[in-house]
Every structure is written in structure tokens, then in C-alpha cells.
Amino acid sequence: MRRLYGNIRKTLVKMIIPGLFLISWGMATAYGNLSPILLPKLGSVWADMVFYTRNGELFLHIKASLFRCFAGFLAGSLLGVAGGVTIGWFKWLDALLAGSINFIRAIPKTALAPLLIVWFGFGDLPKILLIGLASFFYTIIPTIEGVENVDALLVKSARSMGARKYQILFTVILPAAMPSIYAGIRIAATSSFVVLVFVEIIAGNNGLGYLLEDARESLNTSTMFMTLIVVGILGFCLDGFVRYSEKLIMPWRKGKTISM
């Protein structure tokens, strides 16, 4: 019972800022004499949500966006973690590739969108590749740092007990590097939606970014706000999924801190 009360209290605390935001929004549109083009009423945004949900169009856009986002995020993150572990484990690879990785990482991934569209057209492939590239670089750097910064005493202790090289990698280094790895994965997860919406705006024929751009062209700001809210909800859910998987993989890490 006490735990249930604690969870309810945490949920209510988290709802304070969104609640205040919605109240401020409602008061601004009701008493602020603002044009609905600048700030639509909450009722108009909700009406658009109901309309696009009932006709099924919203789910089609969500389905297209989620496919691209998950495909790019999963492929890029898996390759980033695998590459980061490999580079962090083999020092000569780090010396060989560090300069190239940092050079490419410095290029904004969204700047590559026009080039990928020229190479691969307007289909799903350039969108997935762009999300994958962003996820790859968001995960590979924290993974390398996590592997390289494992406490040397842990490695020496494992060696003194007769552990072989790859036993040390999988039983000592990877568990110790997991917090850094998941920090990169969480950033990649939320950033995937940023890249997704951008590339769908400039080269989409469906998806949430396309819906946002279509609403902009007709100055339909209520639909624009509705789309942004949906993107925020999906990004929040993806981050929650990553945090849940983190708890499953690292049950020893409670993530509790001393509060002041």
C-alpha cells in the first residue's frame, strides 16, 4: 500500500508541469485575444485528434513513421554498440579510426539528407539510413568511452582468478560499461524522432513529418500542434521502453540518488 501511494504521488508530481502548461494554454486562447493561426484552442487540437483518429489517417502516418524510426534506431544502435565495444577493446582500432569517427560525427546528420535523397530517392531507405547514422554516432562514442574507462582493478582481479580474455570482455567490461552504453542509446532513441520528423518534412509522402508539413502549407496550426503532441508522446514511450529494458539488463543498478 505504501509503495502504491508513493507511485501515485510520483505520477501526480510529474503531471504538475504539463497541467500548468495546459491551463496556461487554455487561458491564453480564451482571454488573450490571440489569432487561432498563432495559437489554436485546445478544443480545436482535440477535435483534429478525434477526426484523424476516426478516419484512420493518423494511424497510417504513425505506422509509417514508427517503421522508419525503429528500423533506423535499432540498426544504428546495434552497430554503434558493436562497433564501440570492438574499438574500445582493440586499442589499435581506436588509434586507427578515432580521427575519422570524430570527423564524420561533427557533420550534422540532417545535412546529409539532400545527398541521401539524391542517391536513394524519396522512399523509406534514405530516411532509415539517416536515422541509423544519427543513432550510430550517438551510441558508438559513449560505448567506446565506457569500455575504455572500466576500472583497471576489475580487469586485474578477473585475470588473477584465471579469467580468459573474452571472459573478461563479457563478464567484466561489458557490465561495467553498460551505464555509458545506455546513456548513448537513450539519446539516440529520442534523437531518432527529431531526425525522422525533419527528413519526412523535406522528403516525405506520408508519416508524421509529412502531416506536419501538409498542415503548415494550409496554416492549419491545430493539426500542427496535434502532430507535435503525437510525436512527443511516441518519443516519450520509446524512451520509457529503453529505460525499462535498461532495468531488465542491469537489475543491479537501481538508479537511486540521495535527495537533498
- Name 2's Cβ contacts closer than 8 Å, sequence gap at least 6: none
Q: Which CATH architecture has domain 44-249?
A: Orthogonal Bundle (1.10)
For residue 89, what are the contacts with CB-CB under 8 A and spacing of at least 6? Answer: 147, 169, 173
Q: d(Cα 229, Cα 237) in Å, to the nearest integer?
A: 12
Which candidate, 140, 139, 150, 141, places its Cα nearest to that of 174? 150
Q: Which amino acid is at 113?
A: A
Give the model's pLDDT for residue 260.
39
The pTM of the full predicted model, rounded to 2 decimals, is 0.81
Tens digit of pLDDT for each residue in 197-206? 888 888 878 8
> If you count them, how many residues does the chain have?
260
Q: What are the domain boundaries of the chain? A: 44-249
CA separation for the pair 143, 146 (Å, rounded) = 5
Determine the 3-state secondary structure of 43 from DSSP.
Answer: helix
Instruction: Note the pLDDT of residue 96.
Output: 86
In the prediction, which pLDDT does 166 show? 78
Cell of 178: 553498460
> Which residue ranges of the chain lie beneath pLDDT 70?
1-7, 12, 252-260
